[in-house]
Amino acid sequence: MRIAAILTAVLAAGLAAPAAAETYVYEEVVVEWVETSASRFVSPQMAEAEQQAIAAYGPFRVMDATRAALVGITTSYTPAEFDLMLADYPAIATIAFIECPGTHDDRANLRLGRMIRERGLATVVPEGGSVRSGAVELFLAGETRRIDDGAEFAVHAWLDERGMGAWDYAASSPEHRKYLDYYREMGMSAEDAARFYAMTNSVPFESALWLTGAEMRGWIDTPAEKGANTDGGGDKPRLAYLDFVETLN
C-alpha cells in the first residue's frame, strides 16, 4: 500500500505546540505551518479549507454546494464517506486537492478514484496544494484536471502489506496490472500508463520524487486538458524509467 511518509502523521503523533507559527523542513521541501484554535498545525491552505468548510466527510470537506476539498489521508472507509457526501450534496462537481498525503488502503483508494471518474467530477490542485503518494491516483480520476502553478506532487514506489515492492513481482503480475489498468481507465494510452507507472517506481518507497505543477502537467495533459491548465503542459520530464517499462506495455 502507498502510505505517505509525510509530516502529517508526525504532527498528529504529538509535536509540542510552539508559541507561534514555525517552519519545518522535510526532504528539502519547506512547509509553513500555522496554529489553529484546536492547537493543530496545518498548512495555510488547509487551515483556510477547514475554516470555510460547511461539512466534513472523512478526509473531504464540503466548501459549498458544488465544491469539495480533500485534506487528509484516505482509508478503507473513504469510499463510503464519499458516497454519503454526494448523497447529501449531489451538485458537487469539483474536488480541490489541498493537503493530500496519500492512503492507508490502496485498494479502497483505487475504488474511490473510479467513483470520482464515474461521477464525472473535476479535480483541481490550486496554488499551494500538495498531492503525494496514493493521492496522485485520485487526482488522475478527474474527468477534467487542472494543476495551478505553485502546486506540488510527490510519488514513490509502492510497498504491499508483506513488505514487497514492484521489483519483487514479475512484470506480468496482477500487482502491476492493477495500476496499469487504472491508468488506462483514467485516459492514458498503454505506453503512457507504463511510463507513468515506471516513473512512480523510480524512487524507493521510503523516499519521494517531487514534481512541480508544470512537471506533472507534462505527464497528464491531453489535448482537451491543455486549454484548462495554466501553461498548456509540456514535454514529459526526462526521468529514469524502470527496466521493465517495455515489458509492461
Q: How much is the pTM?
A: 0.75
Q: 115-134 burial string, b = 16+ CB within 10 Å, else e?
A: bbbebebbbbbbebbbbbbb
Residue numbers of the domain that contains 190:
53-248
Is residue 29, in this structure, part of any structural domain at all? no
Is residue 13, in this structure, part of any structural domain at all? no
Strands 29-35 and 41-42: what pairing? antiparallel
Contacts of 172 (CB under 8 A, 6+ apart): 247
pLDDT in the model for residue 166:
83
The count of domains in the chain is 1
pLDDT in the model for residue 227:
46
Find the CATH number of the domain harbouring 187. 3.90.226
Is residue 21, in this structure, part of any structural domain at all? no
Strands 99-100 and 94-97: what pairing? unpaired
Is residue 167, in this structure, part of any structural domain at all? yes
Is residue 18, in this structure, part of any structural domain at all? no
Is residue 48, in this structure, part of any structural domain at all? no
Mean pLDDT in runs of 10 for the chain (249 residues)? 39 34 32 35 82 97 98 97 98 98 95 98 97 97 97 90 83 91 96 94 88 93 49 41 36
Is residue 171, in this structure, part of any structural domain at all? yes
Is residue 17, in this structure, part of any structural domain at all? no
pLDDT in the model for residue 9:
36
The beta strands (E) that lie in 18-108 are given as 22-26, 29-35, 41-42, 55-57, 60-64, 67-70, 94-97, 99-100
